[in-house]
Amino acid sequence: MRRRPLALVWCAGLALAGCTTPSAPVGTAGAATGTGATSATARTSTGPGTSATGGAGTPTPTASAASATPDPGDPPGPPDELSVAEARARIFVDDAAAVAAGADACSGERAERGAAIRCLHDKAWSGSPATRAAADALFELTGGVVGLEPAQHMEGGWRGPIELVPEAPIGRHLRHLTWIVDANRDFVRFFAALEARAGKKVGYRYRGVAYRFTRSVNKATPSAYAYDWQVAYNVMGSLHWSGDAVRETLFHEIFHLNDAAHGDWSPRALSAIYEGIMTRCTKRPTGPPEHACLTPYAPGSTTVRGGTYYAFTPGNGVMEYGAELALRYYREHRAALGMQPAGGKPFKCGPSDNGVAWRALVDEFFGGVDLTAPCP
C-alpha cells in the first residue's frame, strides 16, 4: 500500500495535527443548513494532539500493509477508477487476508473490471449480505470500494497513543456504510446539478475512492483520515453521528485527496492569505489567534478549545483552511442548487482575502463555476 507521509495524511476533526479540546460552536456563520451548525460542532472533535511537524501522529502500521501485486494484464483504469489490483489492495487489510478470503477466485473475472470488483466485495463481505449489497451499491454509484484499514498505531502526544484496529461495517456499524453510500449519492446529484447548471464539466474527483473501516480503541478519534484516494473511516469517530455530518466530513476529506492530486495546491495558493490572517489575528506573542479577529475569515463556524476556529487552529496548517473552504463551497452550492436551505452572506463577500481565496478555489477545483450570488 502506498502510504503517504504525515504531511500528506489528513484527518477529520483535527485528529492528526494540533488537536485541541472542542467547545461549543460560536455563532452560526457557515451553518447554511439545518445540519451545518450541528455537524460543524462535531467537526471540532478532539484528536490525539500531535504535532503536524514533529512526526508524531504518523500512522505506523502494526500489521503489514495491503500490497496486492499489480498484474500486467490489469492495466489501470481512467484516473477516477480503481483498477482491480487497487481495489483488492484496499478492500483487504493485506494480501494474506485476501488470499484467505478467496479473492484469488476473482482473478478469473478480471476481463471485466466491475465483475471482478463485485467478486472482491463478495469475498470480503460474504458474512453480511447487507454490507455486501451496500458495498456494491457504492461501487455502482461512484466506483468506490469498501474495505478494512490495516491496524495503526499513532503517537497521540499528551492524549497518549491511539490504537486503530480493523472493524467491519456490519451489524450496528452498518449504518456508517449506509451514510457513506448516501453521501456518495449526494455527491453524484450535486455534481450533476452543478455541471448541468454550468453547462460544463467540473472535473472534481469524488469517484473511485476506497472507504476503509477502522475502530479506535477506547477513544473517539481520529474520525477519518485521507491518503492515496482512500478514506480511513473510524466507526467510533465522534464526527460520525448523523448522515449529514458524515456527508460533510467526507467532502472535507475528499478535498484533501483532490488537493494532493493538484500537487498540494493549498500551501501554494493559500499560504500567503492564511499566514496573513494568522499573523494579523495573533495579538499576543505566545497566544493563539483571537477568535473575534478570525470570525470574518472563517469558512466554518466551529471552534476548538481556546476559541480558535477549526480552519485556523495553530499546527493544523493551511490545508485545513483549504478543506474548510471547499466544504463552504459545497454548502453554498447545495443551497444555490436547491439541495438545502439558503444560508447567509456568501463567503466571498466577506473581507477581500475571502474573495481571493474563494476565486482561487473555484478556478482550481470547480472549473470556475460559481453559482453564488454576486456581492453587492
Strand pairing of 210-216 and 230-234? Answer: parallel
Least distance from C-beta 62 to Zn ion, angstroms? 24
Phi-psi domain of 281 (left: phi exceeds 0; alpha: psi -120 through 50; beta: other): alpha
Between 320 and 332, CB nearer to Zn ion: 320
Question: Does residue 239 touch Zn ion according to CB under 5 A?
Answer: no
Site for Zn ion contains 52 (CB under 5 A): no
Do 213 and 167 meet the contact criterion of CB atoms below 8 Å apart? yes
Q: Is 12 within 8 Å of 237 (Cβ atoms)?
A: yes
In the complex, least distance from residue 299 CB atom to Zn ion, rounded to whole angstroms = 12
Nearest approach, Cβ of 102 to Zn ion (angstroms)?
Answer: 36
Q: At closest approach, how far in Å is the CB of 65 from Zn ion?
A: 22
CB of 43 to Zn ion, least distance (A): 9
Question: How far is the C-alpha of 22 from the C-alpha of 366, rounded, in Å?
Answer: 31
* Residue nearer to Zn ion on the CB measure, 128 or 258: 258
Say if residues 365 and 325 touch (Cβ distance below 8 Å): no
The alpha carbon torsion through 68, 70, 76, 80 (nearest 10 deg) reads 20
Q: Does 251 bind Zn ion (CB under 5 A)?
A: no
- What number of chain residues touch Zn ion (CB under 5 A)? 3
Picking from 372, 293, 358, 351, the residue whose alpha carbon sits closest to that of residue 321 is 358
User: For the chain, where are the alpha helices, taking DSSP H only?
Assistant: 36-42, 84-91, 95-101, 113-124, 129-142, 174-198, 243-261, 265-281, 291-294, 318-336, 352-365
Sort 353 into a burial class: Cβ within 10 Å, 0-12 / 13-18 / 19+.
Answer: middle
CB of 300 to Zn ion, least distance (A): 11
Nearer Cβ to Zn ion (248/320): 320
The residue (of 149 and 320) whose beta carbon lies closer to Zn ion is 320
Q: Does 10 bind Zn ion (CB under 5 A)?
A: yes
Which of 61-69, 211-219, 234-242, 315-323 is the region at the interface with Zn ion (rule: CB under 5 A)? 315-323
Q: Which C-beta is closer to Zn ion: that of 117 or that of 357?
A: 357
Residues 6+ apart with CB under 8 A from 152: 59, 60, 61, 62, 162, 163, 164, 214, 232
Q: Which is nearer to Zn ion, 135 or 323 (CB)?
A: 323
> Should residue 325 be labelled a site residue for Zn ion when binding is judged by CB under 5 A?
no
Span interacting with Zn ion, options 142-150, 176-184, 269-277, 317-325, rule CB under 5 A: 317-325
β-strands 162-166, 224-227 pairing: unpaired
Smallest gap, in angstroms, from Cβ of residue 318 to Zn ion? 11
Instruction: Compare residues 135 and 260 and give the one whose CB is closer to Zn ion.
Output: 260
- Region of 25-33, 141-149, 150-158, 319-327 interacting with Zn ion (CB under 5 A): 319-327
Distance (Å) of CA 325 to CA 101, 153, 222, 359 = 41, 30, 21, 11
Q: How far is the CB of 53 from Zn ion (least distance, A)?
A: 16
Closest approach, Cβ 325 to Zn ion, in A, equals: 11
DSSP 22: B
Q: How far is the CB of 19 from Zn ion (least distance, A)?
A: 11
Q: Does 98 bind Zn ion (CB under 5 A)?
A: no
Given the complex with Zn ion, which of 131 and 316 has the nearer CB atom? 316
Q: Is the CB of 87 or the CB of 319 nearer to Zn ion?
A: 319
Q: Is the link from the previous residue into 222 a cis peptide, with omega within 30 of 0?
A: yes
Binding status of residue 327 toward Zn ion by CB under 5 A: no
* CA proximity to 45, closest of 7, 89, 15: 15
Q: Is 106 in the site for Zn ion (CB under 5 A)?
A: no
**Which one of 135, 246, 260, 323 is in contact with Zn ion (CB under 5 A)?**
323
In 3D space, the residue among 332, 330, 277 whose CA is nearest the CA of residue 308 turns out to be 277
Q: Which residues bind Zn ion (CB under 5 A)?
A: 10, 320, 323
